[in-house]
């Protein structure tokens, strides 16, 4: 079975780890968000690609959900001693090795997709089963910027600065994807969508993780026109994200912070949507959008619980397969 998933960082990575546990023989392709990418101290950092890579490869800091396990911060301390900026984003020593390899390869002319493949050769090659292929959504530079008003002045900051330094405490007036107009899908992305037996939207941030991937030219159309069932899992339980500040970006996007609101963002794509068991009241409103919906446990406590979520998603996909899609 060929499964193609669109993924951000923590929500995407954790879900995918459960998916691989649930169906080790599946051929999984992950299309990763690169709009969080940022240049720091001259290094090209790809936070979401790295979170997925470290999580699936067994190198992630488990409690934190991102970054490397058993990390040290000597370089960050030395940078701070020089007064080097920015100081709101701390890079760990082990993590820096990844960014050094990436930055060097990019400078040598390799596209991000080739760099990602090279980095994943270390982390994902030895996975059991068919393993997983991680593709950046694009080789072009796309960045999520957030327009905020500070001291009466409107200015755009990189999403990472808004998220990490400002903690999303200053409301986002607008969210802008710089570079998206000219970005094209990375090699293999549209092909992986077209060839998929199932397309999954993990419980990733719908606005700043899934949104940028779908905004790359051709991607949303490819998902919409693929014959494969498209099933997503809600990152929102009740009226709040399970972790992080997705509520802030949903509000900016004018979307209700509910499992129904998020389903509505993708109603042109979704055949199935999973909501948390406590959100059973959302099933009918989601189905009113023409999307098959089930309420099941959606907390990724551990890999087994996450694998069960993946099985539910595939089961729902099986249920809508073969032209039995819900019609509005
Ligand atoms: P990021 O790029 O690291 O922010 O990660 P993603 O975009 O992939 O995922 C972030 C989303 O994951 C957040 O909106 C969370 O609500 C969601 N999330 C995290 N843990 C869980 C969980 O256990 N269950 C569900 N349903 N969503 C989760
Ligand atoms: Ca992210």
**Mean pLDDT for the stretch of residues 92-100:** 98
- pLDDT digits over 55-84, tens only? 999 999 999 999 999 999 999 999 999 999
Separation of alpha carbons 267 and 168, rounded Å: 27
What domains does the chain contain, in order, with CATH numbers?
Answer: 2-66+100-139+182-235+258-320 (3.40.50.10680)
Tokens of 121: 């050769």
Separation of alpha carbons 12 and 51, rounded Å: 9
pLDDT at residue 59 in the model: 98
CA of 204 to the centre of ligand 1 (A): 5
pLDDT at residue 328 in the model: 43
Separation of alpha carbons 180 and 170, rounded Å: 24
Atom of ligand 1 nearest to the CA of 240: 16
Q: Is 311 exposed, middle or buried (0-12, 13-18, 19+ CB in 10 A)?
A: middle
CA of 281 to the centre of ligand 2 (A): 29
Contacts of 242 (CB under 8 A, 6+ apart): 11, 203, 235, 236, 298, 299, 300
- pLDDT digits over 286-301, tens only? 999 999 999 999 999 9
Separation of alpha carbons 45 and 111, rounded Å: 14
Smallest-distance ligand from the CA of 16: 1
Pocket test for ligand 1, best of 244, 297, 309 (most atoms within 8 A of CB): 244
CA of 261 to the centre of ligand 1 (A): 16
From first CA to last CA, the distance across the chain in angstroms is 29
| Ion ligand 2: residue ranges with CB closer than 5 A | 8-9, 36, 48
Answer left, alpha or beta for residue 275, where phi above 0 means left and psi between -120 and 50 means alpha. Answer: beta
Ligand 1 cavity residues, CB under 6 Å: 7-12, 48, 51, 66, 203-205, 209, 233-235, 237, 241-244, 246, 298-300
Maximum C-alpha span of the chain = 62
Calculate the average pLDDT of the chain: 96
Give yes or no for a cis peptide into 86 (omega within 30° of 0).
Answer: yes
Closest Cα to atom 12 of ligand 1: 11
CA of 9 to the centre of ligand 1 (A): 8
Give yes or no for residue 324 having a pLDDT over 80: no
Q: Is 110 exposed, middle or buried (0-12, 13-18, 19+ CB in 10 A)?
A: middle
Helical (H) or strand (E) element with 143: strand 143-150
Atom of ligand 1 nearest to the CA of 33: 2
Closest Cα to atom 19 of ligand 1: 11
CA of 320 to the centre of ligand 2 (A): 30
What confidence category does residue 191 fall into, taking pLDDT thresholds of 50, 70 and 90? Answer: very high
Other C-beta atoms lying within 10 Å of the C-beta of residue 71: 16
Give yes or no for residue 49 having a pLDDT over 80: yes
Give yes or no for residue 48 having a pLDDT over 80: yes
pLDDT at residue 321 in the model: 80
How far from 78 is each of 50, 74, 81, 94, 104, CA to CA, in Å?
23, 6, 5, 15, 21
Smallest-distance ligand from the CA of 51: 1
């Amino acid at each position: 079975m060929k499964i193609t998933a669109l993924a951000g960082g923590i929500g995407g990575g954790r879900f995918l780890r459960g998916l691989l546990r649930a169906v080790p023989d599946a051929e999984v392709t992950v299309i990763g968000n690169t709009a969080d990418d940022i240049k720091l101290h001259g290094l090209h950092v790809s936070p979401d690609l790295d979170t997925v890579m470290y999580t699936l490869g067994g190198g992630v800091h488990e409690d934190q959900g991102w970054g490397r396990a058993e990390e040290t911060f000597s370089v960050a301390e030395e940078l701070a001693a020089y007064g080097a900026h920015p100081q709101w984003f701390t890079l760990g020593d082990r993590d820096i090795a990844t960014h050094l390899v990436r930055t060097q390869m990019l400078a040598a002319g390799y596209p991000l997709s080739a760099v990602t493949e090279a980095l994943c050769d270390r982390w994902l090659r030895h996975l059991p089963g068919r393993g997983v292929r991680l593709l950046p959504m694009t080789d072009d530079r796309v960045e999520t910027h957030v327009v905020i008003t500070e001291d009466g002045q409107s200015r755009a900051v990189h999403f990472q600065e808004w998220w990490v330094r400002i903690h999303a405490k200053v409301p986002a007036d607008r969210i802008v994807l710089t570079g998206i107009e000219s970005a094209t899908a990375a090699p293999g992305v549209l092909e992986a969508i077209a060839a998929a037996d199932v397309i999954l939207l993990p419980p990733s941030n719908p606005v700043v993780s899934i949104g940028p991937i779908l905004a790359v030219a051709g991607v949303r159309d490819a998902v919409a026109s693929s014959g494969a069932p498209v099933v997503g899992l809600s990152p929102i339980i009740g009226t709040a994200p399970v972790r992080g500040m997705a509520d802030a970006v949903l509000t900016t996007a004018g979307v209700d912070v509910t499992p129904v609101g998020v389903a509505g963002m993708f109603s042109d794509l979704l055949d199935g949507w999973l909501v948390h068991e406590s959100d059973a009241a959302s099933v009918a409103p989601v189905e009113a959008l023409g999307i098959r919906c089930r309420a099941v446990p959606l907390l990724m406590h551990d890999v087994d619980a996450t694998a069960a979520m993946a099985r539910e998603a595939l089961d729902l996909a099986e249920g809508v397969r073969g032209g039995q899609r819900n019609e509005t």
